[in-house]
Each structure stands twice: as C-alpha cells, then as structure tokens.
Amino acid sequence: MRKTLFFLTASLCSASAQAQSLSGETNPCPGVPYVYSTVIGTSCLAPTVQTTQYVQRDVLQAEYLPGGQLVRYSIALTFPNDYYENGITITFSVSSSGSNCTTARLNVTPKGLGRITNRTFPTSVACDFRGNKSYIVEPVQNADTYTWSNTAGWTITSYGNSADINFTNGQPGTVKVIASNSACAASAKDYALPVTRPTPVIYPSFVGNIAVCEGVPTTATVAASANGIRGYEWYSIPANQVYINGASYSSPNAPLFTSTNSVTLTKGIGNGHVDLFARIAFEGCGSGPYQWKGIGTGIPQITGWSTSQQTNIPGWAQSTCPGTYITLHPILNVPGDIALEHQWEHWGDINLMSTTNGPALSVISGSTTSSYGYAKYRVRTACGWSNWQEFSITTRDCAGGEDPERATTIMAKKSDSQQQKGSDLKFTISPNPTKGLVNIKMEKGLAAGKVLVSVTDMNQKVVYNSVFSAGIFNIQLDNLRAGVYFIKLQQGNKVQIEKLVIVK
C-alpha cells in the first residue's frame, strides 16, 4: 500500500511539472504551422490562447492522457513574415484554480523578415545613358540572401543588399530585389520600382550650309553627341520643294527615318527658302526635339530691300533727307548664309560708307535737295547668280520745320572723324575721352540759328538728341556706358560728325 501511494504521488508531481510548461518551436519560420501545447489537469477549464502579436491559429485540440487525470491542449500557429524586435509571447491562460491549473507562457523569436527600404534606388535614368548605377536597400532583419533582377535585360552584379546595374540599352524596366532567409522557404520579401528612361533633350547640329540646285543631288548631314542613337528622323516644309532621299516628307508626325546621319536632297517644285528638320531617334525611348536648318533651292532671287526706315519691293525709290546715312539690305528668297559672293554697283549723288562686296551697302544720300543716287545688287550661290536688282535714293528738302533727324537711323562704321563732303559746319569737342561732360565749340563765322545735336552708339542707335543755339555749349552724357560714340551736328544741309570716347 505504501508503495502504491508513492507511485501516485510521483505521478501527480510529474503531471504538475508538465502543466507549468509550454512546448513548441522557439525560432519558427513564417508561413509554416507549428504546434504548441501544454498539459493541465482534467478538472481545469480549457485554456485561452493569447499572443502578443497577430498569429494565424487553428482550433484548440484536447487530448486526454493515460490515467484520466491530465489533458494535453494543442494548437497550430502560423507566424507572419514580419520581424518583431522583442519576439512574440504565446500564453495558454487558465482561469480556473485547482490542481495542475497553471497558466503557461513561451517567448518565441520568429524568423520573419523586416521591411525592405531603399537607400539608393535611381528610378529615372536618361535614355542615352550607358554605364553602371548603384542600387542599395537597407539590410533586412533575418535576411541572409538577396536576389536582384530587372525586366529590361540590363547586366547586374550583386553584392548582397546592393547591386551595380549596367544600363546596356535604352529600354525602360523594373528593378527588383528579393530578400530571404535560406532556412525558411516561405520567408521571401520583394521590393520593386519601375525605372523610366526619359528622352534626353539633345539637338543634332547641321553640318555646313546647304544649297540644292536643279539636277544636282546634295547631301545634308547632322552631328550629334549621344549614346543609344537608333537613327534620325527628317522632314521639310514647304512640301515638295525639296525631296529627301527621293520623296517628300513634310509632317513632323510622319518623318523619314534613316539609320545614318545623312540624307540626299534633290530639288523639287519651285525655288526659294526651305526649312529642313532633323531629330535623333533613341533606342527604346522615342525621339528628341527637332532642330531646323534653312536651306535654299534653285537660282536665288532678290525679293525686296530693307533699310532703317522701311521695307520696299524691288526697284522702289527711297526718299530721304540730305546727308542721311542709309544701309541697304537686300531681301533674298534663300538663306543669306548660302551666299558665296555679293556684287554692288552704284552711281549718282551717293557716297559709299562700306565695301561693295558684302551683304549690305552703307551710303550717304545726296548733299543737296533734288538729287538722285542709284545702287544695284546681285548675289551668287552654288546654284548661280541672281538677276540684278536696282534701288534708288531721292534726296528731298527737309527744311521748313521738318525734323531732319527722322530719317537718320543707321550709322555705318566710319573713320574717327567723318565730315560730309562740301560741309563747312566745323566744331571741336573736349574733353575727349570724357566721363560724361562734353563741351562743344563751333567755329566762329558760322550762321546763327539752331543746330541739331545727336549722339549715336556703335550699334547705330540714337542715345541723345537735342537742339541748341549755334556757338559754344555743353551736353551731359553721364548716363551712357563706357564706349565709342559719334556726335553729329546738323544745321540745314550741313552735317559734321566727330568720334567721342566715354570712360568710367
């Protein structure tokens, strides 16, 4: 009898020890069910299972142990794929009192992964970029493996939580990294971001000036410094005036594509100015902005004249005041940069202020009223000479209250002191150079009356204008910048010009 009691007491003590513990895996992998159990007396109420973090759970199971006095309660728990710094505590809470009715706890440290956050993750890489860029994510808790990939075929060299991606093409794509724990099959987490490949704003540059002549094919070439160039796109306006590689392309939305940077131009219908457009087509990311170049087709023509005062049709006569400086600019139907040679001829009552082989001619109109002067011009391009076109200058009487300065708007480049031929309107200026104050002294014996004083800068702009009584007077030019200017005195048909230097 004593032996039997000892055995029962030992069994109860053993059962009590089991009831105070909770068994199960202390380092579970995420996504896999693990069984946790405890043993309590049959007189106890079923335990309530609690966890300090959300855990997926099955139904609590009860199993009566041999002897009928103890019961094992078990439950399957599946842990999320998350990292918990302080782990998770599992509690089998027993609310009843009595023999072997003890609450049991177990602290577990799941192998779930922490969040993936990027440290360096470029998401916009220019389409023409070729080379390596670094991609880095912060180290992920519980991860020991990182797998990098992309959808655009770029080369990847991985260094754990960082990788060098070699952009070998201009395609957009997505960069993805998967972090995982090699001990847990279901522990993987991924992080992915799309990488755009914006089209770079790179303009091609046209090489040289272009004239397209009848029956003579001409090559147009552009140069560009960029990576990932797939080819070039071309069009021209107006339509049909020039053909690109044998056909007319006149829409920016339907251009000619070429894999090379040159096209052959042939003359189409009509002569004159044509705008040729070209842009770079990049691999995988569209085309850049258009660049344009003015070209000329056929024999050049002179369509008009432009002076400082007005624009005229060919042969128009310009009426102006005596001694007025005028620069004649022929208006061409082709770009001026394709001109190879200029020719001017002149006669009548005008004096030259420039050479006769440039694109413009500067002259002084007649020194008296009712005088006439003439100039004619022609230009040569690769397609030949234009016809001569004539321009006439009529000098009219600007006295009688009409402001003679109205017609004086262009000052050609002159010598340091330029006096109109036949003029006896003489004066001196001092100091010269000056900081602003200019003393003007007209020679004695000149006619009394009013004299018009104007100052013009090197850009032919009138910066000062006033009227004084003839004699000795001064003007204040403090507001002008340092530079070279021209002071002009005019009285009737008499004009004198002197060079002035302003210093600061």
Query: Does 98 lie in the same domain as 180?
Result: no
In tens, the pLDDT along 96-117 reads 877 788 899 999 999 999 999 9
Residue 219 lies in a domain: yes
CATH of the domain at 271: 2.60.40.10
pLDDT of residue 481: 86
Query: Does 274 lie in the same domain as 220?
Result: yes
- Residue where a domain terminates, one of 108, 142, 170: 108
Strand, coil or helix: what is 240? coil
Average pLDDT over residues 440-464: 77
- Residue where a domain terminates, one of 296, 316, 335: 296
Query: Does 141 lie in the same domain as 60?
Result: no
CATH of the domain at 99: 2.60.40
Query: Does 290 lie in the same domain as 209?
Result: yes
Query: Does 333 lie in the same domain as 253?
Result: no
pLDDT tops 80 at residue 267: yes
Residue 2 lies in a domain: no
Query: Does 367 lie in the same domain as 327?
Result: yes
**Which distant-in-sequence residues (6+ apart) come within 8 Å of 10 by Cβ?**
none
pLDDT tops 50 at residue 322: yes
pLDDT tops 90 at residue 82: yes
Residue 8 lies in a domain: no
Indicate the average pLDDT of the chain. 84
- Confidence class for position 315, pLDDT limits 50, 70, 90: low
CATH of the domain at 311: 2.60.40.3010
CATH of the domain at 479: 2.60.40.3080
- State the residue range of the domain holding 453: 427-502
Query: Does 246 lie in the same domain as 284?
Result: yes
Q: Which two tokens stand for residue 464?
A: 């000062």
The CA-to-CA distance between both ends of the chain, in Å, stands at: 129
- Three-state DSSP string of 119-132: EECCCECCCCCCEE
Query: Does 292 lie in the same domain as 209?
Result: yes
pLDDT of residue 504: 79
CB 162 within 8 A of CB 135: yes
- Confidence class for position 424, pLDDT limits 50, 70, 90: low
Strand, coil or helix: what is 107? strand
Residue 200 lies in a domain: no
What span, in angstroms and rounded, lies between the C-alpha atoms of 431 and 439? 7
Domain count, the chain: 5
In tens, the pLDDT along 155-187 reads 999 999 999 999 999 899 999 999 999 999 889
Measured in degrees and rounded to the nearest 5, phi and psi for residue 260 equal: -105, 170
Q: Range with the lowest mean pLDDT among 208-212, 370-374, 399-403, 480-484?
A: 399-403
pLDDT tops 50 at residue 410: no
Continuous segment of H or E residues that includes residue 17: helix 2-19
CB 353 within 8 A of CB 365: no
CB 286 within 8 A of CB 202: no
pLDDT tops 50 at residue 421: no
Report the candidate in 285, 284, 133 with the shortest Cα–Cα distance to residue 198.
285
Beta strands in 153-290 (DSSP E): 155-158, 162-167, 173-180, 189-195, 205-206, 211-212, 218-223, 229-237, 242-244, 256-258, 262-267, 272-282
Average pLDDT over residues 179-201: 93
Q: Range with the lowest mean pLDDT among 43-52, 322-331, 411-420?
A: 411-420
Residue 336 lies in a domain: yes
Residue 416 lies in a domain: no
pLDDT of residue 10: 31
Q: Give this prediction's pTM.
A: 0.59
Query: Does 125 lie in the same domain as 50?
Result: no
pLDDT of residue 448: 72
- Residue where a domain terminates, one of 43, 75, 108: 108
Residue 433 lies in a domain: yes
Query: Does 287 lie in the same domain as 312?
Result: no
pLDDT tops 90 at residue 54: yes
Query: Does 386 lie in the same domain as 334?
Result: yes
Q: Kindly give the pairing relationship between strand 317-320 and strand 389-395.
A: parallel
What span, in angstroms and rounded, lies between the C-alpha atoms of 455 and 442? 16
pLDDT tops 60 at residue 457: yes
Residue 125 lies in a domain: yes
Query: Does 182 lie in the same domain as 217?
Result: no
